[in-house]
Structures are given as C-alpha cells and as structure tokens.
Amino acid sequence: MRPVGGAVINIITKRGGDNFKGQVAGYYTPFGFRKSPTNEMTDQGLVYPKSSATFDISGNIGGPILKDHLWFFGSFTGKSAGRKTEADLDQTNSHLSGYGKVNYRWGKTTGDLHLDTGSRKTKGGSFLPPSQQDLDSLWEMIKPATVLSGNANFGLGKFGFQARTIFNSNSLNYTPSGEGTNKEFRVVDGKNVQGTPFDYQNGRNSFDLSMDGNYFLEGALGGDHEIKFGVDYYTATTTTQTLFPNQRITYTYPHGEKMGYGVVGIFPDMIFDVSFKRISAYLQDTVTWGKLTASLGLRYDKETFHVNPFKLPEFTWYEPGSPYHGKPLFMDYIYPYETSGFDVPVSWELISPRVSLTYDITGDGKNVVKASFARYGGQSGNTIGSIYTTGFQGGWVGFYDENRDGIPQYTELFSTKYLNWYKFYPGKCPDTGLRPTQFAADYSCPYLDEITLKFEKAFGDDVAVALGAFYKRKGNLTHTFNANGEYVPFSKGIVGNWEVETKANWKEGGQILVGGSPLIFYSQINKPFGSYYTNLENSSESYRGVTLEFFKKLSNRWMLNSSFSIFGSSYNLDPNDLLDLNNFDFYNQGGLAFLSDKSALGGNFINSTWMYKFSALYQLPYGINLSSFFMAQSGNPAPQRRRTMTGTGPTYYYEPGTKMGDDRLPAFWMLNLGLEKTFQVTEKVTASVVIDWYNATNNQIEIRRNLDIGAAANPDIAPLMWTNAGLFQFGVRVDF
C-alpha cells in the first residue's frame, strides 16, 4: 500500500477514568491478490508486487489507581506485514509499540505523565531499483524510539499556568543484511549496480522544557481579553556514522565510452556529533469585540550550535594479497582528526509577528470568515553544526583497469595530479590554522510569511462547507538545489588565498546532449577547498493553494467528509545570487519538489498539484456499518535527466526546455472499503467484526520510475515500482 501524503494526528489521547475499561483487537490478512506483470516488468525481469500474510494485534486498558485523584491508561500494538517485491524478493515490515499514561488531580492542580515507546523494523529493503536488486544489496532498517513526557496545570488567582517537559530518544539504523554483506559497492558500465549498500547509523536525543501562562481580562478597551505568554527551552543532539564497504565505491565506464577507464570514490568513515539549543518566548492577546475576535502575537526565537567530541579515522587501502593492503593512503588529503568540542560561531534569531481575525457574520456561528498573517522563523536543528564540522574527507581517483576485472588495484591508479578531491579539512587547516568552513557575518535564518483566508458556512446542524486559500513565501533562503537534485545548504567556495568564490570562477564548459537536445553546462576554473555559507538575498520560494471542504455529521444513518485542494509552488531564483548556473532554467519558476530519502520510495521527487479525499460511513440494516475512503492526487514529478561523472562525482543535467513538475508520474488513486458489525455480548462487553478491503479496484499504478536518460532522443523510460495489488483484512475488536 502506498502511504497518503500528510500527517493525521489525534491530539486527544485516551485516559483512564473511575471505571475500568479496555479493548483488544486482532486483524489478519491471509494474502494479497497477484496480478500479471506489465510488459515493462517483463522486459526488466520483474514480477508484480504482492502482499503476503499480515498480522495486527492491539489492546488497551485504563482505570483508577486512586478514585477521583489518580488514573492509569496503557496500550500496546504489534504489526507484521510481508510482501514480494518487484524483484521477487521477500520484504517484511514489523512494528511493536507500547504506551502508558498516568493522570492526576489534587485540588486545582492537574497533570499527566506519558511513556511512549516502540520500534519499526524492515528486512529486505534496498536502495537500488528492482531490476538491480539481489540478495547482496539488501539492508535491514531498525527505528526504535522512546518519548517520556509530563505536564502540570495549576492556577494562581486569575492566572493559569502549565509546565511541560519532553524527552525524546530515537535512532535510525540501516545495516547491510544481504548474503554478500561487506561486498564492495560498484557501478558497472556506468549504470548497473553491484555489492552492498553503506551502513548508516543515526541517533537523536532531544529535551524540551516549557512554561505557559494565561490571564483573562474582561471589559478592557471594550472587549474581553485572553492573554497568553510563555518561554521554551529546547536542546537536541545528533550523532551520525556512515560506513562504506572498503571505504570506497568503484565506477567503471561502458567499454564503448571510455574503454578500460574508471574512477574510485574514496569514502572514509564519516562521523559527526553535533547539538543545538533554542530559546523561545512569546506574548499573545486574543480579544473579542462582539462578532469579531482578533489575536495579536509576537514571538522570539534564537538558535545556537555546538560540535561535540568525536574522532575521524584515517583511510586505508583495501587490496588483499597486495603490499598496499591496509596501508594509509592519500595522507595529504585525508588524515585522522579528533576534537574535544567547540561552539559554532554563528547563531540564528528572529522576532516574528502573528495576527489573526475571525468574524461571525450572522452571530450564530454558521457564517464565519477567518484571516491570518504570520511569520515563522526557519529552524536549522543540527544542520549548522554538521556542515561546520566538515566531517567528510575524500574524492574521486581515476584508474586504468588493465585486467578488466572492474576492481581497482593500487598500481592501476593515476598519478596524484589527476586526483579530484573534496579537499575539506574537518578541523583547522594544518598550514594556516584557519577553518575552511566559514559563514557570512550576517548569515541568518530563513523565514516564511503566510497569509490565509477561509470562509465556513453551516447548513443546519449537520452540514457545513468551507472554502480556504493560502499564500506562503519563504525568503532569506539558506538552501538551494544542487546538481544531484538534493536540497542542500547554499554556499560559495573558498579558493586561492582563502578568498570567497565569485562568478569569475565559473565558465561555460561546453554542451552536453540530454535526451537528444544540447544543454550548456558550467564548470569551475579553480576547485574550492572550503565552503562559505551565506543567504540567497534576492531569491525566494512561494506556495499557494485553494481548498474546498464538505462535512456531513452522522445523521439519517450516514456521514461524509470530503475535500478538494489545488496547490502551486515555484522556486524564484535571481541569477545574481548563484554562481553555479547548471540546471538554472530547469529549477527557476519550476515547481518545488524535494527528493525522498532512505525509504522504499527513496529517490522520488515529492510534489502534488491537486488532491481529493473522500471518507464516508453508511449504517446498513442489522447494525452493519459500511465505510469507505477514496484518495486521488496528481502524480509526483519524474524529470528526465542525464547522469554524468564530473570532478566532484555523479552530476545530473535535466532535459532542456523543461521545468520541475512538467514531467510527472500517472495520477495516483485508491479506494478502500470496510464493513463492521458490533455485537452486544454483555451489558459492558461488545465485540466487533471487521472486514477491510484495501485497493478495492485492484488498480495498477506506476509510483516510481528510472529518471536517468542518455544522450539519445526518445529514451526508453523504465517504470520501477507499482502499487500493491488489492487485499482483504479480517479483524475482531472487543471492548469492555
């Protein structure tokens, strides 16, 4: 099943009461339907994806610890789902989670404590397209997480206060699990991938402590006021480790292109440990004058960044049986590094206003107009710390594959004058004592301005419609799209005698054919050895959208919620802001689309221009409920691009004459149906039987394709992933 975009959050969690209540439920899917492969699948040796047995069990119980004062609630969930992938390999997904909550009330003080813990696990995943997947390329993803939180509410005269604290610990680990674990990762003939993916370990811990207050003031300035204020302290740490088999990637050219030549990507172990702190404060007054409610607010945020102690190892050559095996190499470019930690010499701070107006036209809540303006400060999190450590050293080394085995030997490497290095120092330059990662003196956070308008109209007590529109503009940008389609922090290079790079360091490099059309590309004259981070002064991102919603409460045996939204976005670039003009015409005034990362759909651009959602329930005779959910949206962008090797590794050039968002996957849609019947077992116990039918129409929609094309026109575009076939799920739920 393909996940629906967006987040659905139930902000009101269950809690225990003075009576014991609980629920247990179990769902089982015996199998999914199998469909015949498409012609594109057959051409690539693929099969149609199929779901296998799925289990889902859950339960909860709550009740009093001390009646009228202390209550508990606890729940658990266990899920396991399997599937056959397009490569006819087994993939399993499991999820275990537990939740506990204690509520208390003594006098005017109330509060609660929460413990939420769980772990998601995927076995048999792969970063590679299905046609290149094998048992060597598989990884196992484990994502454990624990959240411990609590809050207390108390009053003091006309003031009300809330104190809240949250501790969050989670990690994301991708570990090679295939039969060829630690087999070197290679790109053969420029496109076919072999070997083991890298090992990625990421840990994140955060702590949040806040205090909020409110004060009610009646009759001041002709209205009633609710004044809110608060402060917040937040800190978070990120530790990341990325390990490549043999610390390298080998890339060989097709024999007809550069016969016998290849490059070796040197990827020493990449490690960093960084943290940041944010201090925030706000003041808001919500005042009511008859039919008009106005809210005025002001918020202050400041982020500071820190690099924590960590070590980087040296690079050693892998070639068993050779005198160079295990020998440290390229010490002029790669060297061990250790730091005891230091503060990053940059901080982000912003004062942002918030204004909203609500007017009840008829005074009965059935015709309401809303408008708001707000500025939101961008948050770096641990991005600033991670780029300042510059914890990656490495580059690309040319070699001549004399024995045509696709494996580089040390004696096959070119002379060092042909090396293309990311000559970045993780610490200070040993010659000058300067850091090659620098920030502009006025480097500051981006901000997002948002304007929203909404009209809500109710027809009677059961039916309502709403029409809304929004416009957002993000300015003072700190990120841009690079030649690989990644959204990365914007920087200029440091070149020569520690000078900041200018446009004079870039020139037209010639033309390259992309899909049969010539495209001018640009290259650097002097390769930078460092980065200078600054803001894009005259460029911006813009977002706009219109949404029409319809709501029908449960009455006369049916209910319905539906919405239709149209979205637009654009990346508004000023060429004077940028030095690298590769793909400028493709991104400028094109849609804003971001690459998904580290998932089954990794490498997809995410951007929708329209979306429709429909959910309904109808009460059939004999107490049977029929439910349905239908969702449709535009296909994500699938821009065609040519992949080439440059001095800094793989680079993409997009098809000339196109903009991001012009080429898209087919529109995606899916219908799910459900039947539920509840039986009264005893006075306090009910049992419900549930049958769900996912992808009821058993549709077959392409959701991922190979974006890479060659120089020739009319490239053969290969679909890579399709929606799962339909399936039935059976379940039982018992409430007591």
Sorted by sequence, the CB contacts under 8 Å of residue 471 that are 6+ apart come out as: 450, 451, 542, 543, 544
- Whether the predicted pLDDT of 302 surpasses 70: yes
The Cα-based distances of 281 to 447, 502, 503, 670, 702 in angstroms read 17, 39, 41, 44, 47
Mean pLDDT on 210-231:
91
Q: Is residue 16 part of a domain?
A: no
- Whether the predicted pLDDT of 115 surpasses 50: yes
Q: How confident is the model at residue 135 (pLDDT cuts 50, 70, 90)?
A: confident
Q: Could you give phi then psi for residue 707, rounded to 5 degrees?
A: -90, -15
State residue 646's pLDDT score.
65
- Angle at alpha carbon of residue 168, lines to 163 and 173, rounded to 5°: 170
Q: What is the pLDDT of residues 152-190, one digit of tens each?
A: 998 888 889 999 999 999 998 988 876 655 578 887 766
State residue 571's pLDDT score.
95
Q: What is the pLDDT of residues 365-378, one digit of tens each?
A: 999 999 999 999 98
Q: Is residue 239 part of a domain?
A: yes
Q: Is residue 466 part of a domain?
A: yes
- Whether the predicted pLDDT of 73 surpasses 50: yes
Among 43-57, 452-466, 712-726, the range of highest mean pLDDT: 452-466
d(C-alpha 99, C-alpha 204), whole Å: 20
Integer Rg of the chain from CA: 29
Q: Is residue 328 part of a domain?
A: yes
Give the helix ranges, DSSP H, for 493-541. Answer: none
Mean pLDDT on 604-617:
94
State residue 8's pLDDT score.
32
State residue 304's pLDDT score.
95
Q: Is residue 93 part of a domain?
A: yes
Q: Measured on CA atoms in the order 82, 87, 89, 93, is the torsion positive or negative?
A: negative
Sorted by sequence, the CB contacts under 8 Å of residue 428 that are 6+ apart come out as: 434, 435
Q: How confident is the model at residue 418 (pLDDT cuts 50, 70, 90)?
A: very low
d(C-alpha 636, C-alpha 646), whole Å: 28
State residue 179's pLDDT score.
61
Amino acid identity of residue 348, one-letter, is W
Range of the domain at 455: 22-735
3-state SS, 587-653, equals: HECCCCCEECCCCCCCCCEECCCEEEEEEEEEEEHHHEEEEEEEEEECCCECCCEEEEEECCEEEEE
- The three-state secondary structure class of 311 is strand
Q: State the first-to-last Cα distance of the chain, in angstroms, to the nearest integer.
A: 32
Q: Is residue 11 part of a domain?
A: no
Q: Bigger pLDDT: 453 or 26?
A: 453
**pLDDT-above-70 percentage for the chain:** 90
Q: Identify the residue whose tokens are 């050293």.
A: 393
State residue 630's pLDDT score.
97
Q: Which helix (H) or strand (E) holds 389?
A: helix 383-389
Q: What is the DSSP secondary structure assignment for residue 671, as one 8-state letter? A: E
- Whether the predicted pLDDT of 546 surpasses 70: yes
Q: Is residue 471 part of a domain?
A: yes
Among 37-46, 263-272, 490-499, 703-712, the range of highest mean pLDDT: 490-499
Name which of 141, 138, 142, 140 is nearest 183 in CA terms.
138
Name which of 499, 508, 476, 327 is nearest 410 in CA terms.
327
Q: What is the DSSP secondary structure assignment for residue 536, as one 8-state letter? A: B
State residue 645's pLDDT score.
67
| Number of domains within the chain | 1
**Could you tell me which residues are beta bridge partners of residue 670?**
631
Name which of 265, 535, 532 is nearest 422 in CA terms.
265
Q: Measured on CA atoms in the order 599, 604, 609, 613, is the torsion positive or negative?
A: negative
State residue 185's pLDDT score.
83
Mean pLDDT on 271-297:
94
Q: How confident is the model at residue 421 (pLDDT cuts 50, 70, 90)?
A: low
- Whether the predicted pLDDT of 261 surpasses 90: no
d(C-alpha 610, C-alpha 222), whole Å: 44
CATH code, domain carrying 324: 2.40.170.20
State residue 599's pLDDT score.
54
- Whether the predicted pLDDT of 393 surpasses 80: no
Q: Is residue 13 part of a domain?
A: no
Q: What is the pLDDT of residues 471-496, one digit of tens each?
A: 999 999 999 988 777 888 999 988 88
State residue 7's pLDDT score.
31
- Whether the predicted pLDDT of 1 surpasses 50: no
d(C-alpha 110, C-alpha 108), whole Å: 7
State residue 4's pLDDT score.
30
- Angle at alpha carbon of residue 688, lines to 685 and 693, rounded to 5°: 165
- Whether the predicted pLDDT of 45 surpasses 70: yes
Provide the token pair at 645: 């090797």
- Whether the predicted pLDDT of 217 surpasses 70: yes
d(C-alpha 381, C-alpha 565), whole Å: 31
State residue 124's pLDDT score.
86
Average pLDDT score, the chain = 86
